[in-house]
Structure 1
Amino acid sequence: MSRRQDIDIRPIHEDEIPEWIRALNTGFLRPPSASDAEVADRTTYIVPERTLGAFDGDRCVATFRSFTQELTAVGGTPVTADAISNVTVTSTHRRRGILTRMMAQDLAAAKDRGDVVATLIAAEYPIYGRYGFGRATTAAEWTIDVPRAGLDPRWAGPDDGARIDLVDGDDVRKIGPELHERLRRAQPGAIDRSERWWQVSTGVLVLDRAQWTEPFYAVYRNAQGQAEGLLAYTVDEHWGDAKQPLETAKVKDMIAVSPAAERALWWYVCSVDWVTKVRTGWRAPDDLLPHLLPDPRAARITTQADWLWVRILDVVRAMEARTYGRSGTLVLEVTDRDGLSAGRYRLEAAPDGASCAPTTEDAELTLDVGELGTLWLGDESAVRLAALGRVREERAGAASEADALLRTSRRPWCPDIF
């Protein structure tokens, strides 16, 4: 068995990409071989100096990649994030501190670059709290039983001058990016989408390991002809024994920048002939959807789970980037075993701006940097965390004050996985 110090962790060279992909596929339990197409695709977008491999001799046994991302804070300000992805450790090399070393190397580099936070989507829950990440958003998926939704079977589209049009991938690549930008500027927790994202989602770029099925694309335009919503969905082919259609529409993506667009697009997909079930894809946990139906019970939550995890790298900039619904002050003692964000900070918040600075004043609330990441986007309650023993009040009522300052009226949501 190789000793821990024998494992060489470093950025990969371009000629090591095939070996790195083999380790990545092995870690994710996919066929391990790296095809020429996958190597060619990866080469176009990975940044070698931010793509780490752990090598036992010539064999890559762990993978780690990060890239620059924009994350929307509460109030709409984008902050620069160190987005972490493609994290694996081969099963023969677990429990040797490999992930800890890779994470420490990447987070230190991100701190030096001036990134405000680090982000990731956790495949397994217990891992990333050790590194200062906190669950910051939740996502939910609903399944709609269309026949019992109570919608008018004669519904043929909006009756307020708006319209819904079917379009193709070329139209989506023109309309979609601007719509998504409008959504993410207003949605705490949303992240930017690259040009490559739109190429993959519309079939211009077909990943070697993926089976491409062209979706249907529907665009909602308001009475003035402006696009306010985009829906992408596929439909299976399933018929009952009595020659009755029992087809399921699966929503791949839905962007709506107005409540009218959101309502119309859900009603539209529920009105497609032969569709008896709709699976919504990942949505915000407080999505309007159930209550857009005459019978909200027709939409049941199929899955609900943690989604985006956030690790605060710069407490001052993170707290000053977001907005606050009321005025108040709070002194936070932030602990961080890695030393990247530890300190005592005084937050002075107001609806027209906030300041945050190191202080020697007595702390009012003590919490780990991971819990600060959980609270930062406004989804969690400091009172709940105090009851769980995950934050500590140094002054009675400090957790309630934190909730009054930090919580948001609508829950944060990240529409994308990365």
Structure 2
Amino acid sequence: MTDVRAVTEDDFEDWQRALRTGFLREPVLTAEERAAGRRQFVPGRLLGAFDGGRCVATFRSFAQEVTAVGGAFVAADAVSNVTVSPTHRRRGLLTQMMGRDLAAARERGDVVATLIAAEYPIYGRYGFGPATWTREWTVEVTRSGLDPRWSGPAGGGRIDLVDGADVRKLGPDLHERVRRERPGMVSRGELWWETETGVVRFSSEWTEPFYAVYRAPSGEVEGLVSYETGGDWQGKQPCVTAEVNWLLAATPAAEDALWRFLCSIDWVTKVRSGRRGPGDLLPFLLPDPRAARITEHADWLWVRILDVAGALEARTYEGSGSVVLEVVDEAGFAAGRYRLEVSPQGSSCTPAGGAAPDLTLPVNQLAEVWLGDGSLARGAALGRVQEEREGAARKADALLRTSGRPWCPDVF
């Protein structure tokens, strides 16, 4: 009989091996990898399924904040490390672990749950919906139209190469500034910065990247980028690609300067942007935007709403109006009829009582539009949202959509 339970200290190495097995990685841990994993151990937040004393499924959650529209930080239950060993598939183990974790999150008062979905079809049945999307661009530097003689930012700003210690010192404050302005971004703890700079290593394949900082004319740090290079020369011509791990910019000037810097590095003929938002400035910073090809476009941050009123009241709205929503949630966490009334001055989301609904929608469809993206009208066209009043989906879209698109740069 398979037993789903919280993982103990004694279980943890077995849990780590099962995690590696589920992700098709060699099920052997180095001492360094075991120590890194210990940094993630929080009693009660790791679950496992055990059969005959062996761990055969894994699940981890941790405390997180997600930026809502308008800049409020919303308490989230971040779900990660979800695996089921190939010997124990299709036995409901994930369903048991997910149900237990979401119930605990709701009891704690978490407003939403979040995850990055490895496989698209799995998580909709647990109430999650894709709330942000990601794009990667590959820039052909020689076609971009950028001035090859560019030697630094104009107007007194500057770019300097720094090391990991500098990033750990400068990065957290910059990230806090940036995430307050961008719906969909998530909090980063000390462990994130230590992992991204090689202090903590979850893999023996770590390669030290380059880091560059942009400082405004005032001296204030407004941008950071981590990147690696790869490639060689062919026929006595350079063919080197700069691969961006992450790029943070608090201002358009910082963003422009860092991309120009990357495209100006000697021998670099291509720049791969890493995960960027679908509304990113990058292609339009180039004199020839066609030099930036989209090489990946995919769903990214998935959201599961646990507290409808808490989620909808946490964000801001650009217009005014009201809509009555009938939210369907088989797990029961978010089910109910709600009247949402909004204006640029504030909002309220209250039980609608006997009022007739304008829209009936599953909780995962509400998640898709919570951060200002997605479309209920599209959901209605696909048969996933039911209009109880003609035109209600477009009316709701007008209230929920935002002029900018949400973005989550992180994987967790």
When the two structures are superposed, what TM-score results if normalisation uses the length of structure 1?
0.97
Distance 1:347 1:210 in 2: 50
Distance 2:102 2:364 in 1: 14
Secondary structure of the structure 2 residue equivalent to 1:249: strand
What code does the residue aligned with 2:116 have?
Answer: I
Q: Are 2:156 and 1:161 equivalent residues in the alignment?
A: yes
State the Cα deviation string for residues 15-48 of structure 1 (Å, max 9, x = none): 1111101111100000012333222222222213
- How far has the Cα of 1:307 moved from its partner? 0.3
Aligned positions of 1:5-404 closer than 5 A = 6-207=1-202, 209-240=203-234, 242-360=235-353, 361-404=355-398
What code does the residue aligned with 1:42 have?
Answer: G
Distance 1:256 1:175 in 2: 12
8 Å contact from structure 2 (residues 131, 303) kept in 1? yes
Q: 2:411 aligns with which of 401, 410, 417?
A: 417
Secondary structure of the structure 1 residue equivalent to 2:395: helix
- How far has the Cα of 1:7 moved from its partner? 1.1
- How far has the Cα of 1:170 moved from its partner? 1.5
- How far has the Cα of 1:326 moved from its partner? 0.8
- How far has the Cα of 1:243 moved from its partner? 1.6
Number of positions where the alignment pairs a residue of Structure 1 with one of Structure 2: 411
User: What residue is the counterpart of 1:3 in the other structure?
Assistant: none
Range moving further from structure 2, 395-404 or 317-326: 395-404
8 Å contact from structure 1 (residues 17, 39) kept in 2? no
- How far has the Cα of 1:354 moved from its partner? 0.6
What code does the residue aligned with 2:34 have?
Answer: V
Distance 1:42 1:159 in 2: 44
- How far has the Cα of 1:151 moved from its partner? 0.5
Secondary structure of the structure 1 residue equivalent to 2:60: strand
Secondary structure of the structure 2 residue equivalent to 1:49: coil
Secondary structure of the structure 2 residue equivalent to 1:83: strand
Secondary structure of the structure 2 residue equivalent to 1:99: helix
Secondary structure of the structure 2 residue equivalent to 1:236: strand
Q: Identity percentage over the alignment?
A: 64
State the Cα deviation string for residues 361-399 of structure 1 (Å, max 9, x = none): 110011000101111011101111111111111111111
State the Cα deviation string for residues 104-158 of structure 1 (Å, max 9, x = none): 0000000100000000000000000000001100001010000000111111111
Secondary structure of the structure 2 residue equivalent to 1:245: strand
RMSD: 0.9
Distance 1:214 1:254 in 2: 16
Distance 1:35 1:172 in 2: 26
8 Å contact from structure 2 (residues 50, 56) kept in 1? yes
What code does the residue aligned with 1:14 have?
Answer: E
What code does the residue aligned with 1:347 have?
Answer: L
Range moving further from structure 2, 210-219 or 251-260: 210-219
8 Å contact from structure 2 (residues 198, 206) kept in 1? yes
Distance 1:34 1:143 in 2: 35
Secondary structure of the structure 2 residue equivalent to 1:239: strand
Distance 1:226 1:305 in 2: 34
When the two structures are superposed, what TM-score results if normalisation uses the length of structure 2?
0.98
State the Cα deviation string for residues 185-236 of structure 1 (Å, max 9, x = none): 11100001111111111122222x2422221111111111111111111111
8 Å contact from structure 2 (residues 33, 201) kept in 1? no
Distance 1:289 1:35 in 2: 40
State the Cα deviation string for residues 215-271 of structure 1 (Å, max 9, x = none): 11111111111111111111114110x221110000111000111111111011000
- How far has the Cα of 1:166 moved from its partner? 1.2
Q: Which runs of 5+ in 2 are unaligned?
A: none
8 Å contact from structure 2 (residues 32, 201) kept in 1? no
8 Å contact from structure 1 (residues 142, 280) kept in 2? yes
What code does the residue aligned with 2:243 have?
Answer: K
8 Å contact from structure 1 (residues 382, 403) kept in 2? yes
- How far has the Cα of 1:291 moved from its partner? 0.6
